[in-house]
């Protein structure tokens, strides 16, 4: 609290700003009034058109080998240690190889890949159906415009 009061007193005692000399004001005003060395022409009607483009693209996919290491997967199991210990105790010796040290690909990544491909194929099919529908509607419209009027 005391520093704030001290700061207020110091600022209150500062001298008021002196009035500017008219000669200095005129010296500053003259260069502002004179023509500038570089002039920019106002844009013409053709130049003020603005075209914007938005680019949509797929995000780059992470390669499957990004998380691979030199250590084989059967040395470092993907499940928790307590689960591994439990399986060691309850699995007979003959079946431990496949149960305790599963080797294979991650099915989640394969499923994700298939889902993306199926979605892309469905989207392409919907787009093709929409194009065909628009084409048929245009043909019907043109046929109705070209058809001769009904005569009695």
Give the contacts of 127 (CB within 8 A, at least 6 positions apart). none
Residue 55: what pLDDT?
78
Give the tens place of pLDDT for each residue, 102-125. Answer: 666 677 888 899 999 999 999 999
Which three-class secondary structure string do you get for the chain? Answer: CHHHHHHHHHHHHCCCCCCCCHHHHHHHHHHHHCCCCCCCCCCCCCCCCCCCCCCCCCCCCCCHHHHCCCCCCCCCCCCCHHHHHHHHHHCCHHHHHHHHCCCCCCHHHHHHHHHHHHHHHHHHHHHHHHHHHHHHHHHHHHHHHHCCCCCC
pLDDT, one tens digit for every residue, the chain (152 residues): 677 777 777 777 766 556 678 888 888 888 777 766 667 676 666 666 677 888 788 887 877 677 777 766 666 656 677 777 887 888 887 777 766 666 666 778 888 999 999 999 999 999 999 999 999 999 988 888 876 666 66
Residue 124: what pLDDT?
96
Tokens standing for residue 3: 């520093």
- What is the rounded distance in angstroms from the CA atom of residue 48 to the CA atom of residue 148? 47
Residue 88: what pLDDT?
81
Residue 66: what pLDDT?
73
């Amino acid at each position: 609290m005391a520093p704030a009061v001290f700061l207020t007193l110091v600022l209150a005692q500062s001298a008021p700003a002196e009035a500017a000399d008219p000669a200095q004001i005129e010296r500053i005003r003259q260069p502002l009034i004179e023509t500038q060395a570089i002039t920019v022409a106002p844009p013409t009607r053709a130049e003020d058109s603005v075209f914007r483009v938005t680019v949509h693209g797929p995000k780059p996919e992470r390669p499957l080998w990004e998380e691979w290491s030199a250590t084989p997967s059967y040395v470092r199991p993907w499940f928790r240690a307590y689960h591994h210990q439990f399986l060691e105790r309850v699995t007979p010796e003959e079946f431990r190889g496949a149960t305790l040290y599963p080797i294979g690909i991650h099915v989640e990544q394969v499923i994700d890949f298939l889902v993306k491909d199926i979605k892309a194929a469905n989207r392409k099919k919907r787009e093709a159906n929409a194009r065909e529908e628009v084409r048929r509607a245009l043909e019907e419209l043109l046929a109705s415009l070209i058809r001769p009027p009904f005569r009695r």
